[in-house]
Structure 1
Amino acid sequence: MAKEGQLDRAVRDFIWNIVEIHSQLEEIHKDWARTLGITEPQWLILMAIDELDQGRGVSGIAVANKLRVHPAFVTIQTKKLEKLEFLARVVSPEDARFLQMSLTDRAREEVTKLSLKRQALNSAMFSGVDEESLAYINKRLDSIAKNSQLASQKLSIGIF
């Protein structure tokens, strides 16, 4: 029973640490967004596109899935980002019903300007954590994320 209580305490501590990290990252994203004159969700969309784009553009559905938001929200926000000249949206060559999005040169320039600050920020955030440890943490977090998704699905269908 004591061991079960220790595990429960460790899980609660983990969850609160994740909540705190999420809160701090949210503030950081708001700051980056403010620098570019956009909203935090728009910043995250730009970062998702930058992450997902393999040179052919990215679909709105892929961005929505990455950010875990509704595709209609991505559509509305990307239209605004296109007007601000941060995004280019072109018809997909494979399927004319879909658009492929990519960052404009202007957006890449702005993100590059922030890269030195971002590197300093990352160094401060991960001070004392080496590359091997970070890889280990990421592997475990990936596993927890997948297990959390499965647990959430089980909860929603009444298994728990």
Structure 2
Amino acid sequence: MEDKGCFNPDNLYHVFGQIIKLHFTRSHNLLEKQGIYPGQPPLLFTLYYKDGQSQKELADKLRIKPATVTVMITRMEKSELLTRKQDEQDQRISRVFITEKGREMCKKLKSIFEILNEECFSNFTEEEKVLLRRFFLQMRDNLTKASLDKLGD
């Protein structure tokens, strides 16, 4: 009998990969109905909670390249979710502001994420959710440590 390793359907890594793919597909479909791309909600919520940030601040907070932020903002401006204005004190800085339409979208996004949360965790007890959260945090820490160790090589 051949060993399928991580491609074995019983392997945790295989199941985890399936979950990631299913979650991505489901969330993408729900967001698409609103005309939103998967990377846009974090940017919208960052401005929803602290409006008027510079593009550099947004890139740092979202841990993405400034060029990526620029493309996202341009697309979201066309959708009238955001607007850019020059900083009054420093004309080199462009500040990004959420529009009223963007604020309304955040409300819709909160509902979408509540739906996803319910769909993902509806059959779990509170104790199971606490355990699962602990396991996810441990996985995150393991991967963070591995990434940092790799930087040291």
SS in 2 for 1:36: coil
Structure 1 residue 61, shift from structure 2 partner:
4.3
Structure 1 residue 133, shift from structure 2 partner:
4.2
- Return the match for 2:19 from 21, 24, 41: 21
> Equivalent pairs: percent with the same residue?
24
Q: Does 1:70 align with 2:70?
A: no
Residue in structure 2 matched with residue 154 of structure 1 by the alignment: 149
Residue in structure 2 matched with residue 50 of structure 1 by the alignment: 45
- Return the match for 1:137 from 124, 132, 142: 132
TM-score by length of 1: 0.65
Aligned partners of 1:114 and 1:123: how far apart in 2?
14
Aligned partners of 2:135 and 2:57: how far apart in 1?
24
Instruction: Specify whether residues 18 and 62 from structure 1 end up closer, same or farther in structure 2 by C-alpha distance, changes over 3 A only.
Output: farther
Q: Which runs of 5+ in 1 are unaligned?
A: 1-7
Instruction: Specify whether residues 139 and 96 from structure 1 end up closer, same or farther in structure 2 by C-alpha distance, changes over 3 A only.
Output: farther
CA RMSD of aligned residues (A): 3.4
Residue in structure 2 matched with residue 110 of structure 1 by the alignment: 105
Instruction: Specify whether residues 155 and 120 from structure 1 end up closer, same or farther in structure 2 by C-alpha distance, changes over 3 A only.
Output: closer
TM-score by length of 2: 0.67
Q: Is the 8 A contact 1:64 1:74 kept in 2?
A: yes
- Return the match for 1:33 from 17, 31, 34: 31
Considering fraction of residues, name the structure with more helix. 1
Q: Is the 8 A contact 2:83 2:97 kept in 1?
A: yes
- Return the structure number with greater relative CO, CA threshold 8 A, min gap 6: 2
Q: Partner amino acid for 2:65? A: H
SS in 2 for 1:56: coil
Residue in structure 1 matched with residue 116 of structure 2 by the alignment: 121
Aligned partners of 1:13 and 1:60: how far apart in 2?
42
State the number of aligned residues. Answer: 145
Task: After superposing the two structures, state which structure 1 stretch, 93-102 or 69-78, moved more.
Answer: 93-102
